[in-house]
Structures are given as structure tokens and as C-alpha cells.
Structure 1
Amino acid sequence: MPELPEVEALSAFLAERLVGREIARVEPVAISALKTYDPPVGALEGRTVGAVGRRGKFLDFEAGGLHLVVHLARAGWLRWRDTLPGEPAKPGPRNPLALRVRLVGEGGFDLTEAGTKKGLAVYVVRDPVEVPGVARLGPDPLDPGFGVAEFAALLRGERRQLKGVLRDQSVVAGVGNAYSDEVLHVARMSPYKLASSLTEEETARLYEALGGTLREAVERSRGLAAGELKAEKKVGMRVHGRTGLPCPVCGDTVREVSFADSSLQYCPTCQTGGKPLADRRLSRLLK
């Protein structure tokens, strides 16, 4: 799933190519991806793109007072096309197309989604806060006004484990499964540690790991084409997706805990005092 760094880089890539361009046609293919009907997607046609930005893990295209807001979900992606076929957009077995946006002149982009479990969401709204997922977003961890005091206030009284808290978009916006693993590894903390149990020093350490990890990933992705962002994300990971490989910090073997529809990766030496975490489907953390 694209998270804050990839969506940030993607929005910058698209802003260079879209701002000032007029939308010629919007062609919805997978109707299930459309989550709004008023205004209709056709209302974007003839409007000029004024800005492309990011809200958490959402892409926000502003065009003539309307907003096309996109959440790529787990298997969605945006593919920039310098040249688009002349015929109307159609889905196909090798091209799981959900929506196509054509620009006046030439070019545009496709929204695609692989797999059978569909989560890609497209909204056309007058104000982005009309999108429920945007309305509930917590502060952006890269916002200059988001300091350690604000972060500590969010964690105070929070009885959930750090892994779940970092992934909760209403706590901080933009962090998902992959970067929560990375942040916790940098902070040298167990994903099962209760947020409310953090000391002042640990809170500051987690805050620095959060901002530092995300900023580093954004810098790695800056300037890359849309098609290169997924590969860059994978290459830059320290523990996420690296089960069985050596930790780049201490050399211990990266371990995994599996859940019903996801998994987490961590380093026992760096994060849990050398003790392996039990699979939460069977038991709790071994102490």
C-alpha cells in the first residue's frame, strides 16, 4: 500500500505534469471505485488543474473549485501516460483499469487496481473534508507545527500497542504497515509496547524516529517517476518485508508475526531485548 512518502513523491511528480492543464475527459471503468455521485465525475471536464497535493495517504487534485480525491488502498496505483489510446477506456486481464483521466492536448493518467479485493476509492467533492477518511485524519507527522509535545499529547492515555497507534490515521496521518515497522525499528521499540507506557525519553525517541524515517524516505523518492516508486520503497526498507534476512544494524535475523490479513517484521536484538514475539493469533508477547 502506498504510504506517506510514496504519495508525497507521487503528488510532486503529478503536480509538475498536471498543474495548468485542462481535463478533457474522465472515464470511469470500475464503477465500484466511485464513492460519490454529486458532483458527477464529468463535472471535472473542462476544468484546469490548479494544484495536486497529499492529505495523509490520499491524493488531492484541485480543478476549478472541485477536488478529485483518490485513495489507492492496498493494490491501487496511478500510471502516468504521455500518450493515451484514442479509444474509450476498457478493463482487461492485463490492465485492471478503474478510471482514466485525459488531458486536453495529450497525455493523462490511469488509476488501476490489481487483485480481487477492491479498495481503491475515488471521490469528487467541493471540499476534501467531505471525504470521511480525510475528515478523520490526525496531524501530518511532517507538518512543521507537529512537535514532540503534540505527539506526546496524542499518546497520553493511549492503551493500545505502538504498532496499532502508528497505523491509526486519526492519530497521525500517512503511516501504514510498512513504515510503522520501520519507525519502530529505528526507535528500538517493540511493536507490542503500550503507547501509554512510554517515558519522556522514549516518546522523544519515537518522535524523532517517526519524522526522520519519513523524511528520509521522501528524499529517496523525490524526483522519481511514478513507475519507480514501488521499487524504491521496497529497496529502502530495513526490516519490513525482510523476514529471514539479517538486520542491517545488528545482523540478527529479522522475524515476522502474522495476522489474519497482514504481518509485521522486527529485529529481536534491536527491539525486544533478544526475545521473539509470539504470534498474536496464539498468545501474547513473551516476557
Structure 2
Amino acid sequence: MPELPEVEALRDFLGEHLTGRVVVRVLPLAVSVLKTYDPPPGALEGGTAGPVTRHGKFLALRIGELYLVTHLARAGWLHWRDAMPDRPPKPGGKSPLALRVVLDDGSGFDLTEAGTQKRLAVYVVHDPEEVPGIARLGPDPLAAGFDRDAFAALLRGERRQIKGVLRDQSVIAGIGNAYSDEVLHVARLSPFKLASALEEEAVTRLHEAVQDTLRDAVERSRGLAAGRLKAEKKTGMRVHGRAGEPCPVCGDTIREVSFADSALQYCPTCQTGGKPLADRRLSRLLK
């Protein structure tokens, strides 16, 4: 799933390639992708593309007086094309293509989604705040006002595990499963630690880890073409997606805890005092 750093890089890329261009075609090719119907996607045609903004993991493209807002979800992606095919794509079938936008110079982009779980979302709105997911967002962790005290206030009274708090978009916008693993590894904290139980020094350490991890990832992604962002995200990970590999800090084996539709990775030595966390799925398999 694209998270804050990748979406920020897409924002930069699209801002550079879209601004000033006129949208000539908007072709929805998967019924599931459209979450709004008034205004219709065709209302974007003829509009000049303006600023591109990021709201957590949402992208908002100003086109004329409207906005095309998208959330790429787990398996969605944006593919830029310098020259779009002359023949329009056929809707339906097994194609991952969900929506196509064509510009006046023949370039444009496709939104695609792999797999059977269709969660890619596209909205056409007058204001990004009309999108429910954007209206619910918590503060952006890279915003100027997101200092240590503001972060501590968000954690105060939170009786959930810190991993879940970091991923909750209504608490902090933009951090998902992958970067929460990375942040917690940098902060040397167990993902199962209760947020409200963190000591002052741990809160400071975690805030610094959030800032440093996300800023480093944004810098690594800056200037990359859209098609290279997935690979950059994967190669930059220290623990996420690396179960069974040695920890780059201490050399211990990175372990995994599996859930119904996701998994987390962590280093026992760096994060949990050398103790493996309970993996209920594995425990059931061993019975």
C-alpha cells in the first residue's frame, strides 16, 4: 500500500507533469472505483490541471473548479504514460485498469488495481474535505505544528497498542502498516506496547522516529518516476517485509506476527527485550 512518502512523491511527480495541461478525457473503466456520481467524471473534461495536494494517503488533483481525489488503497497504483494509446481501453474483463485520464498533449495516467478486493477509490468533488476519509484525518506528521508536545497529546489516554495507534488515520494521517513497523524499530519499541503506558523519554524517541523515518523515505523517493516508487519503498525497509532476515542493527532474526489480513515485522533484540511476540495464527497451526 502506498503510504505518506510514496504519495508525497506522486504529488510532486504529478504536479510537475500535470500543471497547466488540459484534461481531454476521463474514462472510468471499473464501476467499483467511483465513490461519487455528482459531479460526473466527465465534468472534469476541458478543465486545466492545477495544484496537486496530499491529504494523508489521499491525492487531490485540482482540475478546473473541481477535484479528482483518489486513495490507492492496498493494491492500487498510478501509472504515468507520456503517450496514451490511440484506442480506448475496453471496460470490464480481467484488466486491472480502473480509470484513465488523458491530457491535451497525449500524455496521461492510468489508475489500476490488482487482486479481487476492490478498494481503490476515486471521488469527483468541489472540495477535498467533502471526501469522508479526508474529513476524518488526524494531523499530518510532517506538518510544521506536529511537534513533540502535539504528538504526546495524541497518545495521552490511548489504551490501544502503539502499532494500531500509529496506523489510525484519524489520529495521525499517512502512516500505514509498513512505516509503522519501521518507526517502531527505529524507536526501539514493541508494537504491542500500550500507547498510554509510554514513558516521557519513549514518547520523545517515538516522535523523533516518526519524523526521521518519514522524512528519510520522502527524500529517497523525491524525483523518482511513478513506476520506480514501489521498488524504492521495498529496498528502503529495515524490518518490514523482511521476516527471517538479520536485523540491520543487531543481527538478530527479524520475526513476524500474522493477522487476518496483514502482518507486522519486528526485531526481538531491538524492540522486545529478546522475547518473541505471540503469533496467534502460528500457535493455532501448531496445535
Q: Which letter maps to 2:80? A: W
Are 1:48 and 2:64 matched, yes or no?
Answer: no
Contact kept? 1:4, 1:57, Cα under 8 Å: yes
| Mapped partners of 1:212, 1:95: distance in 2 | 39
Contact kept? 1:239, 1:266, Cα under 8 Å: yes
1:228-239 alignment runs, 5 A limit: 228-239=228-239
Which SS does the other structure have where 1:16 is aligned? helix
Partner of 2:246: 246
Change (3 A) 1:58 1:257: same
Identity of aligned residues (%): 75
Q: How big is the shift at 1:193?
A: 0.1
Q: Which letter maps to 2:56? A: G
Are 1:36 and 2:54 matched, yes or no?
Answer: no
Which SS does the other structure have where 1:215 is aligned? helix
Which SS does the other structure have where 2:256 is aligned? strand
Alignment size in residue pairs? 283
Contact kept? 1:256, 1:263, Cα under 8 Å: yes
Change (3 A) 1:234 1:143: same
TM-score relative to the length of structure 1: 0.96
Q: Which letter maps to 2:266? A: Y
| Mapped partners of 1:94, 1:108: distance in 2 | 22
| Mapped partners of 2:94, 2:80: distance in 1 | 17
| Mapped partners of 1:93, 1:183: distance in 2 | 40
Partner of 2:124: 124
| Mapped partners of 1:17, 1:213: distance in 2 | 27
| Mapped partners of 1:92, 1:213: distance in 2 | 40
5+ residue gaps, structure 2: none
| Mapped partners of 1:212, 1:62: distance in 2 | 30
Q: How big is the shift at 1:177?
A: 0.3
Q: How big is the shift at 1:200?
A: 1.1
Q: How big is the shift at 1:65?
A: 1.8
Change (3 A) 1:92 1:79: farther
| Mapped partners of 1:235, 1:166: distance in 2 | 22
Q: How big is the shift at 1:106?
A: 1.3
Q: How big is the shift at 1:87?
A: 1.6
TM-score relative to the length of structure 2: 0.96
| Mapped partners of 2:88, 2:39: distance in 1 | 22
Contact kept? 2:239, 2:247, Cα under 8 Å: yes
Q: How big is the shift at 1:89?
A: 2.2
Which SS does the other structure have where 1:43 is aligned? helix
Are 1:27 and 2:27 matched, yes or no?
Answer: yes
Partner of 2:196: 196
| Mapped partners of 1:275, 1:28: distance in 2 | 50
Contact kept? 1:90, 1:97, Cα under 8 Å: no
5+ residue gaps, structure 1: none
Are 1:87 and 2:70 matched, yes or no?
Answer: no
Which SS does the other structure have where 1:50 is aligned? strand
Are 1:181 and 2:181 matched, yes or no?
Answer: yes
Q: How big is the shift at 1:282?
A: 7.7
| Mapped partners of 1:258, 1:33: distance in 2 | 29
RMSD (CA atoms): 1.2
| Mapped partners of 1:175, 1:233: distance in 2 | 13
